[in-house]
Structure 1
Amino acid sequence: MEIPISTTLITPVILSGGSGTRLWPLSRSKRPKQLLALTGSETMLQMTAGRCVDGGRFGKPIIVTNAAHADDIGAQLTASGQAPAAIITEPAGRNTAPAIALAAIEAQPDAALLVMPSDHVIRDVPAFHAAIEHALPLVAEGWLVTFGITPDAPETGYGYIQRGEAIANGVHRVAAFVEKPDRARAEEYLARGDYSWNGGIFLFRADAYLAALERHAPAMAEAARASMAGASRDGVVVTPERETFLGSPSESIDYAIMEKDDRVAVVPVEMGWSDVGSWDALHGLGDDDGAGNVIHGDVVAIDTSHCLIRGEGVVVTTVGVKDLIVVATRDAVMILPRGSSQEVKRVVEQLKARAHITLDTPFPVD
């Protein structure tokens, strides 16, 4: 049974600034993966916001993004009944710590901010809500809380969090944040059992975060406050003043705050999480056809097994193949072996070198 979250009203803060090129050719810089429906009928952004739709638990979300995506974000969230409290458009990318600072300044000082990337999957939402419930008492006391994903493989593509002593029910002090490890260290972390993946999800009061920013990154705090003081507003769209924001250092929340503060806690949680960071990850999330294929669109697969095949506005046919990723849009086709989807970055680099239009232009749709 789902554990009820306390009466504290939580403000979701959704970070939606990524370009999502690891899922090219479907994801483009002007229409990144968070704006696409990859694992269901809703987009990744709509699914993220949908985990926090309950008037007794959560307030309206604050979205931090870039100006190019603001209209799409507003339209998608309004269409799904998740109209945001604010869409803050960053004048320039300065990593997660300044982006969160903008949202914290916009929110009420005593608001509990649930900070989430816009493009992750969480299959067990009740487990996520239960983890939030475990964190809230410490959040009320001014702690900065992160959520540690229970690892199920020695992944080298994620940072890790080492858990220290238990300080409350289901909550531990953070012993260390660890960079992405090599394979041997990742296997050691998995075997030890006191490490979690760092999923980049946080919960803290707005005033506690800003106070920590003043302690550890005062120049960043000053730039964020000045930029928001000079912001222009058009409905829910908030445009911080550009020049003062450009004066902010560029740093992640982990480097700027979480690794330095002495009141940082982690809630370990197993909730069916994925960052959908590659086509291989998307294959693992999909429902197969009985032959190990995950298929989307108008696809004919004959004597085909263990493939991800996706057609967007085109017919895709395969015969006698296995262990492939095949993605076709109306203006691009990509084929590579399963297990090699990180090689998409090499494709993107080549296209960048050629200034190719398919990197930036959304694929044609009806």
Structure 2
Amino acid sequence: MLSPSPIVPVILAGGSGTRLWPISRDSLPKQFQSLASDRTLYQEALERVADPTIFTAPLVLTHEDFRFFARRQASDIGIEATVALEPTRRDSGPALIAAALLAQRIAGEHCLVMSLAADHVVGDRPLFRDAVFKAASAAAAGNIVTFGIKPTAPRTSYGYIRPGTPLEQDGSYAVDTFVEKPNTATAERYVSEGYLWNSGNFMFPAALLIEEATRFEPEIVEAVRAAVDNAAEDLGFLRLDVKAFGAAPAKSIDYAVMERTRRAAVIEGVFSWSDIGSWNAVHELGESDVAGNVTRGAVALLDSRNSYVRSDGPLVAAVGLDGISVVATEDAVLVMPTSRSEDVKPLVAKLKAERHVQANEHLKAHRPWGTYQTICRGDRFHVKKIVVEPGGRLSLQKHYHRAEHWIVVKGTAEVTLDGKVFEVRENESTYLPLGGVHRLANPGKIPLELIEVQTGSYLGEDDIVRIEDVYNRN
């Protein structure tokens, strides 16, 4: 162990990541996607803190909508995490105060906490480990430490930190000032003067963060403490109290504490790092061909250079691209000059304002029991492929505006309909009339796959009246 105090790793995994649309959407944001490797960004963050000689088991803070992703993806790589649910997004200030309070319950009042964003890419694991050692030493000495990153270029998409007086702990400095995202000329000056990128990742004594937050933002601490004190267990998740947490003012930890405390310190991380906040950043992380192109999926290029082309759906064939990004899914395609990657966020806002379902939802929707994916949709019908994982059970429900036909193509379905329970096997089907109280479950050991055909006057997902639900959804 690095210090007499255990280190509780906290993974913040509640963001939406609209800058990486159409891959990242509200229904499945970037931290739960594989963008830089075969692992998701969230899984990579968990693996960085998996050494039991340094860290306790991780504490994950995420949003209600992502709770099953967080637990399932951690379990898939053999990591058991405590998953706490933020009932509403209040920015990083309340989240980190909640993390500090929860960490004290896990590892004692004097524990250290390391907070990492779930959607960052970190390379050079040995160098990252060295930075953890330095940050822990500085934090144990009574500092709130931020991980600064040595710039590789004058980026305008990051905030910067100016290191001040060196501290006694090796490689650590008092923070002289935090500065917002600069223009290009200012960023060039910052790099030349030794400023560091602000990564937004921290190491701190839990008690110190709470003490400083109480000094500057007592209203936030009071609300968050009440939310933690009144938290409830729910299906293995820790659900923070809705009313109390919602009363906390929304404020980032930088504004709430870091820019006001005299206990702020920074260590210089020389490991490779990216907040992967744009498609331009994804392009830079990829392995390019001799013409500077980075491709992924079914892609064919001719006479193209310095471009990023990705397909998670159809074949994308392009001729004569230069500095262009193309990102294709099964239901949406983004095309833009790579230099305009920062404009994806306002584009998504425009799509949402125009009520394009693709702005928020993926064609394949993930649920606690499995997935469903639209095959075909018309005026009075909707055809889906449904996959129910072994042991999965949909809610007992009914619909006011639609009837459904289920055709099993793989596995065995256990169907409940108006109090009767029966099985439907491969190549068999059943009909669920409008208003029928029904449930679908998979009692088998392999995934259940079926085709659902909905017919009726209204086919929206909000035409579901849940009577009983093992996942405690509304």
> Where on the TM-score scale, by shorter chain, does this alignment land: which range?
over 0.9
TM-score normalised by structure 1 residue count: 0.95
Query: C-alpha separation between the residues in 2 aligned to 1:307 and 1:351?
Result: 24
TM-score normalised by structure 2 residue count: 0.74
Residue 99 of structure 1, CA deviation = 0.4
Residue 238 of structure 1, CA deviation = 1.0
For residues 137-176 of structure 1, the aligned pairs below 5 Å read 137-168=137-168, 169-176=170-177
CA contact (8 A) 2:5 2:110 kept: no
From 97, 101, 105, give the equivalent of 1:101: 97
Deviations 1:219-256, CA, capped at 9 Å, x for gaps: 11110110111111125411111111111111111111
More strand by share: 2
CA contact (8 A) 1:11 1:61 kept: yes
What are structure 1's unaligned runs of at least 5 residues? none
Q: Partner of 1:178 in structure 2? A: 179
CA contact (8 A) 1:5 1:132 kept: no
Q: Partner of 1:215 in structure 2? A: 215
Deviations 1:145-171, CA, capped at 9 Å, x for gaps: 111111122222211111011112101
Residue 7 of structure 1, CA deviation = 6.5
Give yes or no for the alignment of 1:325 onto 2:325.
yes
Greater relative CO, 1 or 2 (CA 8 Å, sep 6+): 1
Q: Partner of 2:87 in structure 1? A: 91
From 72, 79, 90, give the equivalent of 2:76: 79
Query: C-alpha separation between the residues in 1 aligned to 2:215 and 2:320?
Result: 61
Q: Partner of 1:51 in structure 2? A: 48
Query: C-alpha separation between the residues in 2 aligned to 1:118 and 1:236?
Result: 21
Q: Partner of 1:351 in structure 2? A: 351
Mark the CA change 1:351 to 1:97 in structure 2 (over 3 Å): closer, same or farther: same
Residue 216 of structure 1, CA deviation = 1.3
For residues 1-366 of structure 1, the aligned pairs below 5 Å read 5-6=2-3, 8-84=5-81, 86-108=82-104, 109-168=109-168, 169-193=170-194, 195-364=195-364
CA contact (8 A) 1:30 1:362 kept: yes
Percent identity (aligned): 39
What are structure 2's unaligned runs of at least 5 residues? 365-372, 374-384, 386-474
Residue 28 of structure 1, CA deviation = 0.4
Specify the code of the residue in structure 2 equivalent to 1:65. T
Q: How many residues align?
A: 361
Query: C-alpha separation between the residues in 1 aligned to 2:341 and 2:140?
Result: 42
- SS of the residue aligned with 2:27? coil
- SS of the residue aligned with 1:297? strand
Specify the code of the residue in structure 1 equivalent to 2:330. R
- SS of the residue aligned with 1:315? strand
Taking only aligned residues, the RMSD between alpha carbons, in angstroms, comes to 1.5
Deviations 1:290-347, CA, capped at 9 Å, x for gaps: 3211111111222222211111122111123222101110100111112111121232
Greater displacement, 179-188 / 241-250 = 179-188
Residue 5 of structure 1, CA deviation = 4.4
Deviations 1:196-216, CA, capped at 9 Å, x for gaps: 111001001111111111111
CA contact (8 A) 1:5 1:130 kept: no
